Amino acid sequence: MRERHRSSWSMARTEGFAPAKINLTLHVTGQREDGYHLLDSLVVFADIGDRITVMPSGTLSLFVTGPMAAGVPVDGRNLVLKAAQMMGVGAEIHLEKHLPAAAGIGGGSSDAAATLRALVEMTGRAVPGDVLALGADVPVCMLARAARMAGIGEIALPVVGLPDLFAVLVNPRVAISTPEVFKRLACKDNARMGPTPTQWDGAAGLCDWLAHQRNDLQAPAVALEPVIGRVLDALSLLPGCLLSRMSGSGATCYALFGNRDEAEGAAGVMRAAHGDWWVRAAQLR
C-alpha cells in the first residue's frame, strides 16, 4: 500500500529544510588540469536556513518568497530548478529564502539538496548519482550533518562526536564572487587539514584545534572586500568568542561560542552595533 501511495504521488505537499553550511576549515590543496580546485574542509550545518515545499505538478515551476527573496532567480539559473530537472519530474516548488545569496554558507547548494530530498520523498525515486554536477557543495549538503569534505566535493565523510557548538553568523550584505576570490589566491597547493580527532575537550578544545587549521580563501576575500576584515575584527571582540573565521569564500563570517546564551547575547551586541548587517545566532551540528 505504501508503494502504491508513493507511485500515485499524494497531493499532500512535501517540505524540506535547507540548513546553512558552515566551513569551520577550508584548505585549498591543489588545482586539477580542468581548473577544479581540490579542497579539504570540516563542514557543519546550522539550525537556521531556507525552507522548500514541493507539490506534484504536470510542469516545473519555482516561486520564491521570504526576507531574502529579492534578486533570487526563478529560471534555469536556480539550482533548485536544476535539481528538479535532474530528478526528471514535474513539481511546483516554493522556496522560502532566509539565507543571503553568494554568502559562503551554501544557500543555493543546500536548497538544491533539500529539493532533491523532498522530491525523493514525494516520488519514491532514487537520488540521482551525479549530484556533484550541481556544484561542489551539493554532496555534503545532501548529508546535512558534520562532515569532512575533500577532493572537488565528491568526498563527504560524516564526522561524529563534535561537542555542542554555537555561533553568531554575520554577513555585511555584500555578495562576493567565488571565482574572483580563487583568482586572488596566491598559492593553490597548500597543506591538507590535520587529522580529525576522535575526541574533543568540549567547544574550547575544538576551537583550539581549529585555530591550527585555516580558511585559505579568507585573505583573498578580505582583499577583495575589506568589509569582511571589519566583520572579523568585530566578531573577535565579542565576549566569550572562542574563534572567529570566514565561511567558504565569504562574505559570511562567524564567531564560535560554548553555549547558546553567550551566542544569543553576542548576536544582540552585533545587531545593536551594526544594524545594517545580517546577524543570526545558531547551533552548529
Overall residue count recorded for the chain in this entry: 285
Contact at 8 Å (CB) between 85 and 51?
Answer: no
Q: Which residue has the cell 552585533?
A: 270
Contact at 8 Å (CB) between 127 and 96?
Answer: no
Distance CA 217, CA 104 (A): 10
Q: What's the Cα-to-Cα distance from 226 to each of 29, 243, 273, rounded to whole Å?
A: 25, 20, 18
Distance CA 214, CA 189 (A): 13
Active site residue: 21, 50, 111, 216, which one?
21
Distance CA 61, CA 78 (A): 11
Whether residue 21 lies in the annotated active site:
yes
Distance CA 213, CA 199 (A): 17
Whether residue 137 lies in the annotated active site:
yes
**C-alpha cell, 232:** 572579523
Distance CA 107, CA 73 (A): 13
Distance CA 23, CA 70 (A): 25
Active site residue: 40, 50, 111, 137, which one?
137
Please list the active-site residues: 21, 137
